[in-house]
């Protein structure tokens, strides 16, 4: 059967690719650009500290819970319509946030916006993989570089943009700026990208019970982690422990429900694949190891070294540079070798060494030394940014690629939430004060343990071969 994406004209492919990157960028940017505007929102719209927490948590919940649902439905019904629907929901939510006059309406609008955001990154990345498979080596390497740069701009530039908009244009523009950008991206996708659905996919009755259990279970787990991270309560606190246990119990109940479902929202046979399950665990631990570095090192530079917020961001440039180089290098190595396991093992080793080195962090540690440690961590985190996704997508049948991509994105997001909660718990053991010893030991323990677990997860996987691009020398006729 003719592949509509393989035959897509080069001009359309380029335009759609940038539109998809724009969608993914909006989903990522909106999680960071609003952060620095939140104090101004609470000040002008009204609300207490608890409202502030729920303004953050509402978006996290809906954007996370919707990821596996979008991924599974995209395999069954096609990705283009679902992505355009997600963009529409996201833009309506953005407009509602920008026009909200009360905190209650703001939180509801933020949750609605998150429902659309779950599609932007997940389906955007899946469609980019459809348009740039490993057989298109040059395009795939360029996409890995662009995606890494996009992630870094979103993480670093988002807070800066949010502050600028809140100070000079008004906090509402932190939401309204999404409208023209999202509309242009959606128009390009609607015009230039044809709809494609796997002919072997056979949608059945909607798995309502599975969707409900998945949504409720993930929501309770994320609420528990959010309460732990944002309030500083202990793990044994009823609000934290109760929601975590309830959420995990619902997710355990989900397993037999999905086994009996005619068209399950999750695919049990994917989790029974040792390699895919190991990659999910690896992505979880990679993110758990890396996130505390980006969150707590700026606090160290500001509170211990007396640097400005701008300077503390600049001191993270070695980490960001390492991520870009590591991500691009991973794509090049995978395509050159045709194997995914060696770069992932190297990444897990580097992130373990780089984070453990921070045990020696002191108030007068030379900036060149901290920069070297950050560069090593970035080089180690780089393979996880794209390599885990490449391996996950190639470890499952093509018909399940959207579900596999969503699973990879979700586990990384959960790993970040767990890492942040654990790091805040460890730091609280130092009296809640930001000290060199507290930050250094927190980064070292979280990163070291999670890095070793990531290394063990990758060791458990079977190597995932990736088709190497065709060369001028033809392969032997007898090769399978």
Q: What is the pLDDT of residue 412?
A: 84
Q: What is the pLDDT of residue 428?
A: 75
Q: Assess whether 85 and 148 both reside in one domain.
A: yes
Residue 281: inside a domain? yes
Which residues pair with residue 361 across a beta bridge? Answer: none
Q: What is the pLDDT of residue 316?
A: 79
Q: Assess whether 240 and 374 both reside in one domain.
A: no
Which range of residues forms the domain containing residue 443?
267-467
Q: Assess whether 351 and 399 both reside in one domain.
A: yes
Q: What is the pLDDT of residue 72?
A: 81
Q: Assess whether 292 and 168 both reside in one domain.
A: no
Q: What is the pLDDT of residue 263?
A: 73
Residue 476: inside a domain? no
Which of 283, 257, 287, 280 shows the shortest CA–CA distance to 396?
Answer: 280
Q: What is the pLDDT of residue 480?
A: 32
Q: Assess whether 225 and 84 both reside in one domain.
A: no
CA 389 to centroid of chain Cα atoms: 11
Q: What is the tens place of the pLDDT at every residue in 46-88?
A: 665 556 667 777 887 888 888 888 888 888 788 888 999 999 9
pTM, two decimal places: 0.76
Q: Assess whether 156 and 237 both reside in one domain.
A: no
Q: Assess whether 278 and 226 both reside in one domain.
A: no
Helices 317-337, 274-299: crossing angle, 10 deg rounding: 160
Helices 367-394, 401-428: crossing angle, 10 deg rounding: 150
Asked whether the CA dihedral 154, 24, 396, 249 is positive or negative, the reply is positive
Q: Assess whether 238 and 299 both reside in one domain.
A: no
* DSSP class per residue in 416-427: HHHHHHHHHHHH
Reduce the DSSP state of residue 185 to 3 states and report it: helix
Q: What is the pLDDT of residue 369?
A: 93
Helix (H) or strand (E) holding 477: none
Q: Domain of 447: which CATH number?
A: 1.20.1250.20
Q: Judge whether 403 and 267 are in contact, CB under 8 Å.
A: yes
Helices 178-192, 10-33: crossing angle, 10 deg rounding: 150
Residue 203: inside a domain? no
Domain count, the chain: 3
CA dist., res. 91 & res. 86, Å (int): 9
For the chain, list residues with pLDDT below 70. Answer: 1-5, 31-39, 46-53, 133-167, 197-206, 229-232, 309-310, 313, 431-432, 467-480
* Number of neighbouring beta carbons within 10 Å of residue 433: 11
Q: What is the pLDDT of residue 358?
A: 94
Residue 61: inside a domain? yes
Q: What is the pLDDT of residue 219?
A: 83
Residue 47: inside a domain? yes
Q: Assess whether 255 and 301 both reside in one domain.
A: no
Q: Assess whether 62 and 158 both reside in one domain.
A: yes
Question: Among residues 260, 278, 295, which one ends one of the domains?
Answer: 260
Q: SS3 for 278-331, per residue? A: HHHHHHHHHHHHHHHHHHHHHHHHHHHCCCCHHHHHHCCHHHHHHHHHHHHHHH
CA angle 299, 147, 282 (to 5 degrees): 70
Q: What is the tens place of the pLDDT at every residue in 380-428?
A: 988 877 778 778 877 887 777 777 877 888 888 788 878 877 887 888 7
Alpha helices (H) along 193-237 = 208-231
Reduce the DSSP state of residue 128 to 3 states and report it: helix
Q: What is the pLDDT of residue 197?
A: 67
CA angle 70, 218, 32 (to 5 degrees): 70
Q: Assess whether 2 and 130 both reside in one domain.
A: yes
Residue 201: inside a domain? no
Q: What is the pLDDT of residue 433?
A: 75
Residue 89: inside a domain? yes
Residue 475: inside a domain? no
Q: Assess whether 310 and 183 both reside in one domain.
A: no
């Amino acid at each position: 059967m003719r592949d509509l994406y393989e035959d897509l004209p080069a001009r359309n492919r380029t335009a759609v690719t940038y539109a998809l990157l724009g969608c993914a960028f909006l989903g990522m940017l909106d999680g960071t650009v609003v952060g620095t505007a939140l104090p101004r929102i609470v000040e002008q719209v009204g609300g207490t500290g608890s409202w502030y927490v729920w303004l953050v948590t509402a978006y996290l919940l809906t954007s996370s819970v919707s990821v596996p649902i979008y991924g599974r439905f995209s395999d069954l019904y096609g990705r283009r319509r679902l992505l355009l629907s997600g963009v529409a929901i996201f833009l309506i939510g953005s407009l509602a946030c920008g026009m909200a006059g009360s905190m209650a309406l703001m939180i509801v609008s933020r949750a609605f916006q998150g429902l659309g955001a779950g599609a932007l990154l997940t389906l955007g990345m899946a469609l980019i993989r459809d348009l740039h498979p490993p057989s298109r080596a040059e395009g795939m390497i360029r996409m890995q570089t662009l995606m890494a740069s996009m992630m870094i701009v979103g993480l670093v530039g988002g807070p800066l943009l949010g502050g600028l908009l809140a100070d000079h244009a008004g906090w509402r523009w932190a939401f309204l700026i999404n409208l023209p950008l999202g509309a242009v991206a959606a128009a390009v996708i609607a015009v230039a990208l044809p709809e494609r659905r796997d002919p072997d996919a056979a949608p059945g009755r909607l798995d309502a019970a599975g969707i409900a259990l998945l949504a409720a279970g993930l929501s309770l787990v994320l609420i528990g982690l959010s309460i732990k991270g944002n309030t500083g309560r202990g793990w044994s606190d009823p609000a934290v422990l109760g929601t975590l246990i309830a959420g995990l119990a619902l997710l355990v109940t989900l397993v037999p429900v999905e086994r009996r479902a005619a068209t399950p929202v999750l695919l049990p046979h994917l989790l029974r694949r040792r390699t895919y399950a190991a990659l999910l665990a690896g992505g979880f631990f990679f993110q758990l190891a890396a996130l505390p570095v980006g969150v707590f090192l700026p606090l160290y530079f500001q509170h211990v070294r007396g640097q400005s917020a701008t300077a503390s961001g600049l001191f993270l440039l070695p980490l960001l540079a390492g991520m870009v180089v590591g991500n691009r290098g991973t794509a090049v190595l995978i395509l050159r070798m045709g194997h995914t396991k060696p770069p992932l093992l190297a990444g897990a080793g580097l992130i373990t060494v780089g984070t453990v080195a921070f045990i020696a962090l002191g108030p007068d540690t030379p900036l060149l030394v901290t920069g070297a440690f950050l560069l090593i961590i970035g080089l180690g985190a780089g393979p996880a940014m794209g390599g885990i996704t490449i391996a996950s997508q190639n470890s499952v049948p093509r018909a399940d690629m959207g579900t596999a991509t969503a699973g990879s994105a979700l586990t990384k997001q959960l790993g970040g939430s767990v890492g942040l909660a654990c790091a805040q718990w460890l730091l609280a053991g130092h009296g809640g004060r930001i000290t060199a010893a507290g930050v250094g030991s927190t980064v070292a323990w979280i990163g070291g343990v999670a890095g070793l677990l990531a290394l063990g997860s990758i060791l458990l996987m079977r190597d995932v071969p990736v088709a190497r691009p065709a060369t001028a020398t033809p392969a032997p006729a007898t090769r399978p």
